[in-house]
Structure 1
Amino acid sequence: MKTSVWIRFILATFLLQWLALSAFSQGALSYVDLVNRLHDLEYLATPPHKDEKSGSFSSYDRRSRYDAVTNTYEAWGANGDGSGYIRKEGKDIVVFEQEGPGVIWRFWSALAKEGHIKIYIDNQPVPVVDKPFRDLFETVGNEVPPMNYPNLVMTLSRGRNHYLPISYSKHCKIVLSENWGAYYHITYTSLPKSTTIPSFTGTYTKQENFALAQTDRTLGSRGYERKHYDKEVVETRQVKATPNAEVLLREVQGNKAISYFKVNFDNFLTKQEKQSLIKNLWLSITWDNDKTPSVLTPLGVFFGTAPEVYSYRSLPVGVINTSFYSNWWMPFSKSAKIKLINKGSVPYDIGFTLVTVPLSESADSLMRFHAIWHQGLNRQEQISTIKPQDVLLADFEKGNYSGWEVSGNAFGKNPVKGTLPNQSPVSDFKGSYLVNSYLNGDSSIGTLTSRKFSINKRYINFLIGGGSHLNKTGLQLLVDGKVVRTATGMESEQLFPVSWDVAEFKGKQAVLKIMDLETGGYGHILVDQITLSDQNIARTDGRALDWTFLDVKGKGRFCGLTLHVENTWEEPRQESETWWYGKWDKKTIDWWWGEGDEKFFVDGEKFPSTYGTGSEDYIGYAWSAEPPFPVFDSPFASQPFTALTGNGHTIVNRFHIADNVPFQNSFEGNLEKYKLNNWGKNNRCLFDAVVYWYQMP
């Protein structure tokens, strides 16, 4: 009898969990339902259906690729990312194609021009949208421009953003015509085949227009208003966080969810006291019977501000004067323990408001909210002096090419001392000399080929910069006359560390070839300090640029990050022609930190399903290597602060609500980091981030 009851209990529990898993992923979804997903923070806690997948189509540089034979990544820093596409159809380019059912949540572009965008739904021969790409961001249907949904379609520091959902039941293809512009992202979600979804017709019903208008109004009131629930409990208290100690703000028991909390402090604190508070006070939240907190982060960065208190408003978090708010939905089944940890030497008086909501069904079937601060994962920066046991193959410090065979006119007669005429400043080489093929600009070509040497260490380490043209600008390793390793520059005049794992060739003779066979943009190469070593100085898979901000195993949803950048440099001696340091290719210093693309690897995929075109493009703005540099906020992306000249601190965030990234087994999120922690002579570029995601316990 007891066994029978136990079996029925297990079956009932399984059925409840299956229903919870399926409720938000199957069945019928109306267009209004999709619009509501744009601000539905509760949905983020529901486990993703196994067939729910998200990704992004973008204009990333197609030279970047994964080599399955060597299990390495080639031209991973290729940066000609304004015009990539899937294929050509006549004079048009296909930029998006997916089977349904699915939803496009976001369009972004840095330069939307007159060439048409054509959106074909469900294999129909006539597009439901056929208008200038620029108009996608300026008009709704046949309405009079400009667009009048300021919280759904917005321009953020030159970046065009469009968050009006476009759904398709069977299929969607998007093409762009000539003169469409440059740079695009199209972010989408594929839904389970059992999902019934309406196909976009190019127009909106009266009910759908009302839903868009209401959602725009809801997003516009973010931070000023919050969602209210029946039977919610609101608690407010004052606490003193003593130095080098932790204080329990609240321990809540039961099957509930945190729907809102707010932290506020004395408005009369000095600027320095506020800086100290948001840096030294840490937020810690532990769910149920967990031994470690799922939320552990400095207070300021969790709420999207650092290193000072900057007011801004996004949907999930924000800062209004001296109040920090969070709308993240945080369910738990047994308990939530919320603490403040004071890592500083002075006490702080803090006001705290917490809103909890009882749940009608068990939170065991829901995911837990996570937010963790760190300074990067898996990034190696071990540039140092050559170790005594290393074998120096070349450092070019004698000022000649002794031991190398020279062909062509790109490399001249000798190595050079840094920057050549009309070249942007070259940085991060070692010593006085390096190989620099910019001798006659990008128009010259040539090669440098080393004498044979024996591979007697596991790694070949070197520094490389310049162009990222695969098999045209780079360094190659040849064994038995065959190219077995290759590396390119990162389309930057900064040299980066690269390591090759050559253990399989140990004992063999090899040759190095430095190439400049490209005459177009970045048609040159920079190389320095080539060594054989038993220790690598960078990742050996070709992904040395990737700064990993999240690497988790399990089932969940990635929902965004706040990124704090401290990028500082010595003032250049040369006076610029315009602005502080010039613009475009006329800069006195190559300072821009945000050239790196976002890359999301989901469930063990070898090539990322999201591959972007630049860090600022990922956030939603554009051209941010070029002044002026405004601050901005919006429901899903903000830049609460950046230094007026660029020299200093920048804080940005990007939140994935409707366009969250579901994963079944694993998620690895990366941003390329083009600046080393220490770059140039006395400059530095440091990243730290708080990452937000949901995960099954």
Structure 2
Amino acid sequence: MKKKLKIKAVFFLISFALFSGVWAQKKSKVNMETLLKEMTSREQLTRFPDPSFITKHVSSYDRSSTSPKEGNWFHNWDMNQWEGIEKTKNGKEYVLMDVKSPGAITHFWMTGAGENRGQGILRIYIDGKEEPVISQTIRSFIGENNEVGYPMSCSVSPETIADERGHNLYLPIPYAKSCKITYQSDLIKEGNPWETKSEILYYNIDYREYAAGAKIESFTKNSISQNKSIIQAANQMLLDGRFSQERKLKELDNFQIKLTPGEELVVSKKDAGAAIEQLNMRIQEDNPTQSLRSVIIKCTFDDQQTVWAPLGDFFGAGYRIDAFETRYNKVSVDGNLTSKWLMPFKNSCKITLENIGETTIGVNGSLQYSSYKWNKNAMHFYTSWHQYTKVNTGVPKNMLGGEGVRDVNFVTLKGKGVYVGDVLTLFNDNLPIGKTSWTKEEGTFNYCWWGEGDEKIYIDGEQFPSHFGTGTEDYYNYAWCKGEKFSHPFIAQPSGEGNMTPGYTVNTRVRALDVLPFNTSLKFDMELWHWNKATLNYAPTTFYYMMPGGESNIKSDYKGAKEEVLLDFEKIHPVK
């Protein structure tokens, strides 16, 4: 055992040195090595990107959705929609993406349905060359790529059968001039795919667009094998929770408090520039629920309050302790809550906890501080939270929408910054149409899925969203509304009980290379879509960095946070 640990430690030291050396030698270029270094750096998130880029998106969203002012805005045939169709020497190739500017693919998600799902051929053409750098089955390259390895290639949930998982690739694929991605399958048929029994493909691709003239080393057929060691190092850092720029601990503040109803206490305060390295807290209850929503965390950096959220949602727990770990949030089985978002400040910071509940709540915790060099690109960390309480999802719908479907706002931002992730906590209160009660003999309800709606993200005043997705579960990178749990450095579903039956769900997505920079504004909307008539308690938490003075439309939502948290469906609809 000691020998294995020693080998692992040596591997990490070599990996760390390799990353540091690459950054020092090639910081003027963009290539797979520098992108992987960026993927594993927290400090990079806190500084506005240089060289600058725009994160764009292409997906199989319903192309008949053309305007929020039209009735087609909520059309939902989000499968087998292409950028084009080409006849090549290989046969008919369906174009998923075709861009003619320097950039890099940063995240690729897909799932499928029907016969032979995910076994068609994916081809990636770089810089206008006729021969693809990738030509293999789409699932073997995206989610089951043994050469890339886990977690940069992953399928979730591992508890779900493989055909019904979301398949993800986080390996960056840079290109100097252009990139075209196609899919070929003889089982794809024209017309309604459900009626023609066609193979069905859903896909979402995030990619960066760099300015003309950017120095980019393009991906080749040999890029994965040539970069094997650094890919393995990045995978290991992601799995170990390490970062390529490990930081020296400067100070540690411990606290143990009891908050009476209505009380607010300062748990840490600094009057010199630094960064919060890590937050650790625990509510002193065996099974906290309401208390996770009743304790509010507030962070003020350089005299501007930028964080306001219930403690549980801030840490990604929602309002129940279900163990999981992503790159930036961790919840342990014993109720310990950890946040690794790096939170820099130039001159001062103040962290307070407020109890808006009706009982006294004990909280233990610690804050670790590290040194940080503030510069012109440095940004403050922000968190916004609000709840749509008992929001009605309308009448039953078909693929062309229906009464009650709507876009709900996660957050709207003004200023310059980078959007880095979100948590969605909800309770799905669903009954079959026309019923006000239920019996256990009725079994599982049909059409209970709440998350058919697509994300729509507008950057810098766009009139049409540059990010238009294919479903809420697709945005959170799993598939087919499956309720099985999963935990991954960039995504998690600690609980999916409310997915296909009434109940409680928490979904998390944190971003790395697929962060969303904005120069003037960002608006994040999500379609609220339920196949059945239902009400939801629907609470998004959003994480982002902004230059000092940035503004959010989300204000302190005391009303939403004081609502009773829901876990027991029978409490709402008693069994007859």
TM-score (norm 1): 0.66
Show CA shifts across 1:648-675 (max 9, x none). 1101011122100111111000110014
Relative to structure 1, is the Cα distance of residues 218 and 49 closer, same or farther in structure 2, using a 3 angstrom cutoff? Answer: closer
Contact 2:125 2:181 in 1 (8 A): yes
1:222 aligns with 2:227: no
Determine the structure 2 residue equivalent to 1:83: 80
Pick from 354, 373, 378 the counterpart of residue 366 of structure 1.
Answer: 378
How many pairs align?
492
Match of 2:444 in 1: 580
The residue that corresponds to 2:412 in the other structure is 551
Q: Which amino acid aligns with 2:524?
A: G
User: CA offset at residue 353 of structure 1?
Assistant: 1.6
Determine the structure 2 residue equivalent to 1:690.
541
User: Amino acid of the residue matched to residue 169 of structure 1?
Assistant: A
Q: SS of the counterpart of 2:289?
A: helix
Cα separation, 1, equivalents of 2:356 and 2:367: 23
State whether residues 390 and 535 of structure 2, in contact with CA within 8 Å, keep that contact through their aligned partners in structure 1: no
Partner SS for 1:279 = helix
| Equivalent of 2:476 in 619, 632, 641 | 619
3-state DSSP of counterpart to 1:123: coil
SS at match of 1:65: coil
1:364 to 1:467, Cα distance in 2 relative to 1, 3 A: closer
| Pairwise CA distance, 1:243 | 2.3
Match of 1:298 among 286, 310, 313: 310
Matched to 1:593, the amino acid is W
Q: Can you give the 5+ residue segments of structure 2 that lack an aligned partner in the other structure?
A: 1-23, 158-164, 188-198, 549-576
Q: Distance in 2 between matches of 1:562 and 1:552?
A: 17
Moved more, 567-576 or 99-108: 567-576
> Kindly tell me: are residues 163 and 577 of structure 1, through their superposed partners in 2, closer, same or farther at Cα, counting changes over 3 Å?
farther
Alignment of 1:333 onto 2:346: yes
Q: Does 1:283 align with 2:302?
A: no
C-alpha deviation, 1:363, in angstroms:
4.4
Matched with 2:21 is none
3-state SS in 2 of match to 1:79: coil
What CA distance in whole angstroms lies between the structure 1 residues aligned with 2:181 and 2:442? Answer: 39
Change (3 A) 1:95 1:554: same
Distance of 1:604 and 1:284 partners within structure 2: 29
Check conservation: 2:42, 2:245, Cα contact below 8 A: no
- Return the letter of the residue paired with 1:56: H
Query: Counterpart of 2:176?
Result: 169
Which structure's residues are more often helix, by fraction? 2
Q: Choose which of 233, 243, 249 in structure 1 pairs with 2:261.
A: 243
Change (3 A) 1:240 1:77: same
Task: Give the Cα separation in 1 of the matches to 2:144 and 2:530.
Answer: 39
**Cα distance in 2, alignment partners of residues 574 and 236 from structure 1:** 49
Counterpart contact for 2:37–2:244, Cα < 8 Å: no
Partner of 1:34: 35
Q: Secondary structure at the match of 2:486?
A: coil
User: Secondary structure, in 3 states, of the residue corresponding to 1:72?
Assistant: coil
Where do residues 285-684 of structure 1 align in structure 2 (5 Å cutoff)? 285-290=299-304, 293-321=305-333, 322-359=335-372, 361-363=373-375, 365-375=377-387, 466=398, 468=400, 490=401, 495-496=403-404, 545-570=406-431, 580-581=444-445, 587=446, 590-624=447-481, 629-643=483-497, 646-675=501-530, 680=533, 683-684=534-535
Change (3 A) 1:289 1:428: closer
Question: 1:629, 1:646 within 8 Å by CA — same for their partners in 2?
Answer: no
Amino acid at match of 1:166: I
**Aligned-partner SS, 2:222:** coil
Which residue of structure 2 aligns with residue 152 of structure 1?
Answer: 152
How has the CA–CA distance of structure 1 residues 652 and 374 changed in structure 2, closer, same or farther, with 3 Å as cutoff?
A: same
| 8 Å CA contact retained: 2:40, 2:244 | no
Work out the percentage of aligned pairs sharing the same amino acid. 28
CA deviation map 1:464-500 (0-9, x unaligned): 95452xxxxxxxxxxxxxxxxxxxxx0x6xx32xxxx
Conserved in 2, the CA contact under 8 Å of 1:51 and 1:191?
yes
- Shift of the 258–270 alpha-carbon distance from structure 1 to 2, 3 Å rule, reads closer
Whichever of the two has the greater Rg, that structure is: 1
2:413 is matched by which residue type in structure 1? V
Distance (Å, rounded) in 2 between the aligned partners of 1:54 and 1:83: 23
Q: Which residue of 2 aligns with 1:189?
A: 208
List per-residue Cα deviations over 1:205-246 (Å, max 9, x = no partner): 6662111111111111239x9974235323323223232111
Q: Which among 114, 128, 132 is matched to residue 127 of structure 1?
A: 132
- TM-aligned CA distance change 1:148 to 1:89, over 3 Å: closer
Shift of 1:258: 1.2
Amino acid at match of 1:688: A
Distance of aligned partners of 1:50 and 1:65 in 2 relative to their CA distance in 1, 3 Å threshold:
farther
Q: Give the Å deviation of 1:344.
A: 1.7
* Displacement after TM superposition at 1:88 (Å): 1.1
Contact 1:104–1:167 under 8 Å retained in 2: yes
User: Does the 8 A contact of 2:324 with 2:332 survive in 1?
Assistant: yes
Distance 1:253 1:192, change over 3 A: farther
Q: Which amino acid aligns with 1:653?
A: T
How many angstroms apart in 1 are the aligned matches of 2:314 and 2:438? 39
Shift of residue 100, structure 1, vs aligned partner: 3.4
User: Aligned partners of 1:108 and 1:550: how far apart in 2?
Assistant: 24
Aligned CA RMSD, in angstroms, stands at: 2.9
SS in 2 for 1:238: strand
Deviation at 1:356, TM superposition (A): 1.3
2:347 maps to a residue whose letter is K
The alpha carbon displacement at 1:547 in A equals: 0.8
Q: Secondary structure at the match of 2:277?
A: strand
Q: Could you say which residue in structure 2 is the equivalent of 1:525?
A: none
- Secondary structure of the residue aligned to 2:321 is coil
What SS is found at the alignment partner of 2:487? coil
